[in-house]
Structure 1
Amino acid sequence: MKKLSFSIIRFLLAFSVTMILFLSLIISGTTDFWFSLLIGILGGVLSSLVIKWCQLRLFLKKCGLNYKEYIYIQKNLKEAKIKIKRLQKTQFKVRSLGAFKQIFELNRLSKRIFTIVTKQPNKYYQCEQFFFHHLDSAVELSEKYTFLSTQPLKEDHVVESLTETKKTLQNLNQSLNDDLLKVLSEDIDTLNFELDVAKRNNNLNIPK
């Protein structure tokens, strides 16, 4: 929502620059209609790019990141988005209710971590394990499990592999849960601090 509002503000400012340049040139009579319009559009595009860059600089300053770090994080987020889509597809292919619940939970936790880091890229470094190991393992195991579970094979070693994979998926759920806690750790600490302050203030205000 905030990103959308920034886009609207940038568009309105760029449009205003375009119209001011266009009307100024038309009124002055120094150029014809089409050249004035072209100059106005170019001025609007340039102002939009400048405003966008300024917004990004302010955002990076707030997050405590430099541009190189931001590009690196965005690259990993883009790759993670593709992997999460693959994980979502496996959810509706499993036949076991237990496996469905496990993969559903993996999806829920993955999307939650992804959403938080997308909005607050500085939190990326608190959960690098998620992007480099845990998400990859979740996708690969879920895909292999759904593939094997749909095969008409009842051999003992196949059943054993499926059982072992379900256990590993359960462990992965815990790993992703830990990743989410790491991402939220600062927010939890801040909330606990504010609660302690509020409790102390309330105790001080209680009439004797």
Structure 2
Amino acid sequence: MKEIQQFFIRHFITAPISFGSWLYFILGAGLNFFAATGLLVAIYFTGNFSIKQFQLMSNLKKLGMTRSEYNHIKVQMKEAKQKVRQLNGLYGKVRSVQAFRQLHEINSLSRKILSIVQANPKKFYHVEKFFYAHLDSAVELTSNYSMLVNQPLKDKDIRIALQNTRETLTDVNKQLEQDLKGALATDIEKLQMEIEFVDSSMKKQKPLLEMKGDTHNDRKY
């Protein structure tokens, strides 16, 4: 969401400046249309690039990350989203309710994790195993399952393999749940600290309120 907002900010700034410069080049400086248009394009893209770099540096400073770290996470996010799209394409290939439910849970958990990391790239370091191993396992197992289940031959070995795959996918779901908990861990700790702070503040204020109430009652009598 922040990237979209920054995109519109960049173009909101560069568009009027570029167009105003274009009018000046034609009306004020007397340049021909093509030269002025060329300068307009140059100003527009240069300004857009400069503002984008400023926004990026500002974001990195707030996150406390280097550019290389940010770029690495961005690449990992892009690859993970492609893997999730690959999982989405397998819905029509699974044949059992159990397998469909497992696939849905894997997709749901994966999207939630990606959404959290998208909002706060530093969360990546809490769920590295998701990006480097767990999501890959989910994609590979689900792909293999969908391939086996669509085979016309259903001998004993294939049935055993399908059952083992379903059981392993259950384990993968549990791993993804742990990844999601890891992504939310710091938020839960922060929320708990805020709750404890509010509770502590309320407890400190309560005796004061009771004392004021007692004083008021004493005056009445």
> Could you state the TM-score of these two structures normalised by the residue count of structure 2?
0.87
Aligned-residue sequence identity (percent) comes to: 34
Show the counterpart of 1:94: 94
- The amino acid of 2:130's aligned partner reads F
Instruction: Give distance in 2, aligned partners of 1:59 and 1:29.
Output: 39
- Residue by residue over 1:27-48, the C-alpha shift from the partner in whole angstroms, topping out at 9 and shown as x without a partner, is 4335334323322331122111
Instruction: Give distance in 2, aligned partners of 1:17 and 1:131.
Output: 42
Show the counterpart of 1:111: 111
Equivalent positions of 1:38-49 (< 5 A) are 38-49=38-49
Deviates more, 1:133-142 or 1:78-87: 78-87
Equivalent positions of 1:25-64 (< 5 A) are 25-64=25-64
- The amino acid of 1:149's aligned partner reads V
Instruction: Give distance in 1, aligned partners of 2:73 and 2:179.
Output: 16
- Residue by residue over 1:132-181, the C-alpha shift from the partner in whole angstroms, topping out at 9 and shown as x without a partner, is 11011100101111121222333222211111111110110010111111
Instruction: Give distance in 2, aligned partners of 1:43 and 1:50.
Output: 10
Please tell me whether the aligned partners of residues 16 and 44 of structure 1 are also in contact (alpha carbons under 8 angstroms): no
Q: Which SS does the other structure have where 2:90 is aligned?
A: helix
| 1:77 and 2:58 correspond | no
Instruction: Give distance in 1, aligned partners of 2:122 and 2:150.
Output: 41
* Contiguous gaps of at least 5 residues in structure 1: none
Deviation for aligned residue 1:88:
1.4
Instruction: Give distance in 1, aligned partners of 2:46 and 2:90.
Output: 45
Instruction: Give distance in 2, aligned partners of 1:157 and 1:38.
Output: 68
> Could you state the TM-score of these two structures normalised by the residue count of structure 1?
0.92
Deviation for aligned residue 1:17:
1.7
Show the counterpart of 2:198: 198
- The amino acid of 1:187's aligned partner reads D
| 1:23 and 2:18 correspond | no
Show the counterpart of 1:178: 178
- The amino acid of 1:29's aligned partner reads A
Deviation for aligned residue 1:69:
1.3
Instruction: Give distance in 2, aligned partners of 1:29 and 1:139.
Output: 61
Residues matched between the structures, number = 208
Please tell me whether the aligned partners of residues 145 and 162 of structure 1 are also in contact (alpha carbons under 8 angstroms): yes
Relative to 1, partners in 2 of residues 1:38 and 1:196: Cα closer, same or farther, differing over 3 Å? same
Show the counterpart of 2:128: 128
Deviates more, 1:150-159 or 1:28-37: 28-37
Deviates more, 1:176-185 or 1:24-33: 24-33
- Residue by residue over 1:65-98, the C-alpha shift from the partner in whole angstroms, topping out at 9 and shown as x without a partner, is 1111112111211211111111112233211111
Q: Which SS does the other structure have where 1:154 is aligned?
A: coil
Q: What RMSD, in angstroms, separates the aligned Cα atoms of the two structures?
A: 1.6
Q: Which SS does the other structure have where 2:31 is aligned?
A: coil
Instruction: Give distance in 2, aligned partners of 1:73 and 1:167.
Output: 31
Instruction: Give distance in 2, aligned partners of 1:29 and 1:54.
Output: 31
